[in-house]
Amino acid sequence: MGIFDFLSGEFIDVIHWTDDTRDTMVWRFEREGHEIKYGAKLTVREGQAAVFVHEGQLADVFTPGLYMLETNNMPILTTLQHWDHGFKSPFKSEVYFVNTTRFSDLKWGTKNPIMCRDPEFGPVRLRAYGTYTVKVSDPSLFLTEIVGTDGEFTMDEISYQIRNIIVQAFSRVVAGSGIPVLDMAANTADLGKLVATEISKVVAEYGLTIPEFYIENISLPEAVEAAMDKRTSMGIVGNLDNYMKFNAAEAMGAENSAMAASMGAGMGAGLGMGMAHQGPWGARPAAAAPAAQTPPPPPVEHVWHIAESGETKGPYSKAEMGQMAAKGALKRETFVWTPGQDGWLKAEDVTELAQLFTIAPPPPPPGA
């Protein structure tokens, strides 16, 4: 073996890169003294690009494929090295592998609220968050503008800068869109396209592109959301006066049911005590005292509402209704209603109130 064959064997190279980190964007191929044999094999896999840097100058860029590093496929590097076609000595260059696949599921969000002017609520503060993807579109530009001489460049090193660009573009687009806050949820797709267009103009200067951009949520401050919930609840209730009447009637019905249940329990207890005093053959001992009877519950006093000039007044007790009848404020044709009554009735058609109009006051005293 000659000395030339021995030296050639020392520089036999197979240059390639396999990555399992899932976040490395650029990796530099390390070689002692950066010496690469002329005629070495370069393997560039799908989703990669290989960039040669010779003496600080960016040279050739190789797309996916298998290459023999010779003068016929390295025109820029050959020019920089001043090779003749027959010269096959090793050369000193740095090889950077650039990951050109998509880096997905990257998060973005507004650190501070964004001030906007809403046509319905006025000045509001908005927060938003979502996801996006990044891809290297120009390996040589990305290497010169961002990476520099970093031997291993990861996505974390640029994600913060990209998030700042996203938030700035999002703030500008949302503030100028004129879309009401309540309609933004239905327009997140269109807003996302507008924001992605603004972002792409900036990151293109870094050799990057944003293939996907998503807005997952746009939210208001908690105090504003609580006020909106109250407003929604009022809309569901509808007429507040009718709602209060319904609640009052429901509560009174529940009270009457409880009273009826109490009466039933008292009658049952009395019946049980009576049976306990009977003999084995049903005969009642002569010495047994009669069971005490439970007095009936007091009657439930109704309360009344009056319809007057399209408005509902009350509630009034029966005593108050009698005073109003005496003064003439309550007339026979006045419409009244009490819980449990089927609709509005004239006062003279209600048995409990009709008697108020039949009781005439006594004659005035003499000399009055």
Specify if 220 maps to a domain.
yes
Indicate if 221 and 111 belong to the same structural domain: yes
Its domain, for residue 54, covers 3-99
Specify if 255 maps to a domain.
no
Indicate if 70 and 144 belong to the same structural domain: no
Specify if 306 maps to a domain.
yes
Indicate if 109 and 228 belong to the same structural domain: yes
The number of domains in the chain is: 3
Specify if 288 maps to a domain.
no
Domain boundary (84, 99, 114) is at 99
The secondary structure element, H or E, covering residue 305 is: strand 304-308
User: In CATH, what number is assigned to the domain containing residue 325?
Assistant: 3.30.1490.40
Domain boundary (83, 99, 115) is at 99
Indicate if 94 and 58 belong to the same structural domain: yes
Indicate if 338 and 223 belong to the same structural domain: no
Specify if 92 maps to a domain.
yes
Indicate if 82 and 147 belong to the same structural domain: no
How far is 89 from 6, CA to CA, in rounded Å? 13
Indicate if 327 and 217 belong to the same structural domain: no
pLDDT, one tens digit for every residue, the chain (368 residues) = 444 444 444 454 788 999 888 899 999 987 766 677 778 899 999 999 999 888 778 888 999 999 888 766 677 666 666 555 445 666 777 899 999 999 999 999 988 888 888 887 788 888 899 999 999 999 999 998 888 888 899 999 999 999 999 999 998 888 888 888 888 878 888 888 989 999 999 999 999 999 999 999 888 877 777 766 776 666 665 556 666 776 677 777 776 776 666 666 655 555 555 555 555 544 455 555 556 677 777 666 788 889 888 888 888 888 888 888 888 888 888 999 898 888 889 888 888 888 888 765 655 677 65
CB 237 within 8 A of CB 231: no
Specify if 328 maps to a domain.
yes
Indicate if 78 and 111 belong to the same structural domain: no
Indicate if 137 and 32 belong to the same structural domain: no
Domain boundary (187, 211, 232) is at 232
The secondary structure element, H or E, covering residue 208 is: strand 208-209
pTM of the model: 0.56
Indicate if 42 and 92 belong to the same structural domain: yes
E strand spans, 34-177: 35-36, 41-44, 48-54, 57-62, 65-68, 91-92, 94-99, 103-109, 114-118, 122-136, 152-154
User: In CATH, what number is assigned to the domain containing residue 224?
Assistant: 3.30.479.30
Specify if 283 maps to a domain.
no
260 SS3 class: helix
Indicate if 95 and 116 belong to the same structural domain: no
Specify if 212 maps to a domain.
yes
Indicate if 94 and 134 belong to the same structural domain: no
CB 26 within 8 A of CB 153: yes
CB 185 within 8 A of CB 216: no
